[in-house]
Amino acid sequence: MKRLANLPAMDKAGQVDFLVVGAGPVGLVAAILLAREGWRVTVVEKWPSRYPMPRACTIDHEALRILQAVGTMEEHAGLFEPSRGERGGYQIRNGAGTLLRAINWNRPAESGWANTNGFYQPDLEEVLESMAEEIPSVELRRGWSAEAVEQDAEGVILTMSRTEDGSDQEQLRGSWLIAADGANSVIRDLLGIESVDSDFEADWLVVDYVPLVDRQWDAFVTQYCDPDQPATAVNSGPGRRRFEFMRRADCSVGELGRSETAWRLMEPWDVTPENARLERHAVYTFRARWAQDWRRGRVFLAGDAAHLMPPFLGQGLCAGLRDARALTWRLSMVASGLADTSILDSYGPERGAHVREIIEEAVAVGEMVCELDPRRAADRDKDMIALLNDPEAVTVEPPHPKLGQPSITAAEDGNAGRLSVQARVEVDGVSGLYDDVIGGTWQLIGLDVDPLANVPAEHQAWFARMGGTASSLSEDGPIRDVDGDYRAWFAGHGCNVVLSRPDFYIYGTGTPDDVPRLLESLRAALSNSPVYTETGAMS
């Protein structure tokens, strides 16, 4: 942490460092990450109380590493139930129950947390909100709607009024603004940013329930591609389950949203009022959409304001948390004078291409699941079964996209722009995850080598000023690779040094001989940002 967060919420000129519109999970995570860096943040939220309806129920390893950085995992890791072991991963079955495809959600993941985890979004939002409220430099203004935004060379002026009756118009001033105001983002519209729509659209009933009896399900998530009634069954965190049902043409949205309909649709799985308590249910229209620009001057889009996807891969919130991390490290470095404002230009291109790949995969799964035509569904089943040599085999890896270009990554490095690694280490008898034990915003890690061996002292000092840490891991040295996960990761990536960014993406890899070059190019990228492309050209 660069500065103590114990600051008044506003400076003398009445300007905070950051304004955040929207106290959903993305806005709150962005606010906490900035406040932990010592910045003053005001969060403006339209509604007086938190959104109570069911939405995200699975979260991936990378998002949990981001929540670890937020400080959530220290006390609240129990909110998340890992998909692992005999309970299986993600299965796609046809109407007759035959396995069509499986996604390996139980794979060992690179972020130090289980690949996929069930959770209950309202519980997470409650924790995030109380964490934000405990930080003196964060002010949460609930019950205020953002209505207008203007900007000049020094900052942004946000006009808001009371949501209840439109009274009490107020203006807030901040150096930068993050629009995390959700799918119907007012800020996005005010800035005139267009979205691209993929034309995917389907209404689904989402039913969260508490099972009253113990029961084993054959997978963490099962998609039932039954043209008579497409459905999803999923673990939604400790002590909870969820069903989702697609609306058929013969059922109105009103009819679908009734609790009687929810019970009727769950009955074939023997989920009844005798063995389950209905917690919440709501009808959502699943869509796929992404903003064409992620930035206008000092204003940035993040989360659902920037992209929307059908939830078949459980990635909407995960993508939003990636945005929050990718944006806040940049903004914090720029605001503290450690980097040039030009590093902000790569936020949208990097995140946009990454999330597009996930949206496209989510739509592809959605189209498979939402098929209502029995003949086309039968053809689909035949084709998919033909591809499965072993019906019990887990065949497909979850999406693992690379950052888009131009990006702040090393040129001509096949690993750059992919997700980096975190695993358990032990130092002086204390073991834990790397970020907790060693930490560092920028992380330079060598396996069995000193990554700084060839780096001039001046570059080492610069790297430390950036919040960088350097460490040498080994089987039995002072920093132990406890489970051999780093050894396996480095072997898989053909290197023994990695330089990772504050959002856990790889800046570059190589050997200790490559580190001076990597640090020089990073320094150039942060100071006047000649952004390197994959071919090594500068743009």
Ligand X SMILES: Cc1cc2nc3c(=O)[nH]c(=O)nc-3n(C[C@H](O)[C@H](O)[C@H](O)COP(=O)(O)OP(=O)(O)OC[C@H]3O[C@@H](n4cnc5c(N)ncnc54)[C@H](O)[C@@H]3O)c2cc1C
* Beta carbon nearer to ligand X, 288 or 317: 317
What's the chain's Rg over C-alpha atoms? Answer: 24
* Beta carbon nearer to ligand X, 112 or 311: 311
d(CA 368, CA 105) in angstroms, rounded, equals 19
* Beta carbon nearer to ligand X, 192 or 429: 192
* Beta carbon nearer to ligand X, 257 or 512: 257
Binding site for ligand X (CB under 6 A): 21-27, 44-47, 51, 55-59, 145-146, 180-182, 186, 206, 284, 303-304, 311, 314-318, 320
Q: How far is the CB of 205 from ligand X (least distance, A)?
A: 9
Q: Spell out the residues 6+ positions from residue 238 whose beta carbon is closer than 8 angstroms to its own.
A: 78, 79, 81, 118
* Beta carbon nearer to ligand X, 219 or 455: 219
* Beta carbon nearer to ligand X, 2 or 46: 46
Q: Which amino acid is at 130?
A: S
d(CA 36, CA 357) in angstroms, rounded, equals 31
- What is the total residue count of the chain? 539
Q: How far is the CB of 355 from ligand X (least distance, A)?
A: 11
- Which of 96, 73, 61 is closest to 391 using CA atoms? 96
DSSP code of residue 5: S
Q: How far is the CB of 167 from ligand X (least distance, A)?
A: 15
Q: How many CB atoms lie within 10 A of CB 449?
A: 17
Half-sphere exposure at residue 206, Cβ-oriented, CA atoms within 13 angstroms: 19
Residue 189 near residue 296 (C-beta atoms within 8 A): no
Q: How far is the CB of 186 from ligand X (least distance, A)?
A: 4
* Beta carbon nearer to ligand X, 47 or 464: 47
Q: Spell out the residues 6+ positions from residue 479 whose beta carbon is closer than 8 angstroms to its own.
A: 425, 426, 427, 438, 471, 472, 473
- Which of 164, 173, 142, 137 is closest to 41 using CA atoms? 137
Q: Which amino acid is at 516?
A: P
* Beta carbon nearer to ligand X, 180 or 497: 180
Pairing of the two strands 156-162 and 41-45: unpaired
Q: How far is the CB of 44 from ligand X (least distance, A)?
A: 5
Q: How far is the CB of 119 from ligand X (least distance, A)?
A: 9
Q: How far is the CB of 214 from ligand X (least distance, A)?
A: 24
* Beta carbon nearer to ligand X, 127 or 466: 127
d(CA 251, CA 263) in angstroms, rounded, equals 15
The rounded Cα 340 to chain-centroid distance in angstroms is: 25
Q: How far is the CB of 412 from ligand X (least distance, A)?
A: 33
Residue 59 near residue 116 (C-beta atoms within 8 A): yes
Q: How far is the CB of 21 from ligand X (least distance, A)?
A: 5
Query: Across the strands, what pairs with 471?
Result: 445
* Beta carbon nearer to ligand X, 44 or 411: 44
* Beta carbon nearer to ligand X, 42 or 175: 42
- Which single residue brings its beta carbon nearest to ligand X? 24
C-alpha pair distances (Å), 502 with each of 138, 139, 317, 326, 526: 22, 25, 19, 8, 13
Q: How far is the CB of 96 from ligand X (least distance, A)?
A: 26
Half-sphere exposure at residue 140, Cβ-oriented, CA atoms within 13 angstroms: 24
Query: Is residue 400 classed as helix, strand or coil in its secondary structure?
Result: coil
* Residue reference for tokens 């998002």: 63
H or E element at residue 48: none
Q: How far is the CB of 504 from ligand X (least distance, A)?
A: 17
